[in-house]
Amino acid sequence: MPDPTVIPPFALSLDGAEGAVREGLAKAMACLKPLGLSVEDAGTVELVLAEALNNVVEHALAATKESTTIEIRGHQTAFGLRLTVIDRGAPMPTGTAPVSKAPNIDVAFDDLPEGGFGWFMIHSLATEVHYARVGQSNLLCLQLPVGV
C-alpha cells in the first residue's frame, strides 16, 4: 500500500488570464490534499503560488495579445514541495528573479509603496527560488519546506 503522505508529481494548465488564477490555485491545492498539510503550510503554499501566478499575469503576460496558458508542475522532495511555474510571456527584465529586499515602510503613510512586497514574501517563505528563460518560456522553480 502506498504511503499516503507522498503525492505523485502533478502538472496543471490554466489560462493566462487574471480570472484564472483563483481556479488554478484551487486545482493545485487539491493536488496537495493527500499531504495533509497544516493550515499554516497550506497557507504558505497558496500565498507563494498566488503571488507567483499574479506576477506572471500582471507582468510577463501583460503585453501578450494571443491566448496563452500557465503551467504549474509540482512534486514532493525530501526537502518539501517543489513547484515550477511555466509561462510563455515576456522574460524577467534583468534575466533573474528580483532580489528579496523588503520595501522601505519607514515612511509617511501617503508615501508607503503599493507594491514590491511579493518577491520579498516569496523569497522569505521559499528555501529556493530559481528563474530561467528557456527558449520562449519562463521557468520559476520554488522549493517550499512543507509536507516533510
User: Domain containing 121 — which CATH number?
Assistant: 3.30.565.10
d(CA 76, CA 36): 13
3 inside domain: no
**Domains identified in the chain, total number:** 1
The pLDDT assigned to 95 comes to: 86
| Residue 107 pLDDT > 90 | no
5 inside domain: no
Enclosing domain of residue 88:
10-144
38 inside domain: yes
Q: What integer best gives the mean pLDDT of the chain?
A: 86
- Write the DSSP string, 106-121: -S-GGG--SS--HHHH
The pLDDT assigned to 27 comes to: 95
pLDDT in tens, 84-102: 999 999 999 888 887 766 5
48 inside domain: yes
pLDDT in tens, 3-22: 445 778 999 999 988 889 99
Burial 106-143 (b: 16+ CB within 10 A, else e): eeeeeeeeeeeebbbebbebbeebebeeeeeebbbbbb
pLDDT in tens, 53-64: 999 998 899 877
For residue 88 the three cell numbers come to: 510563455
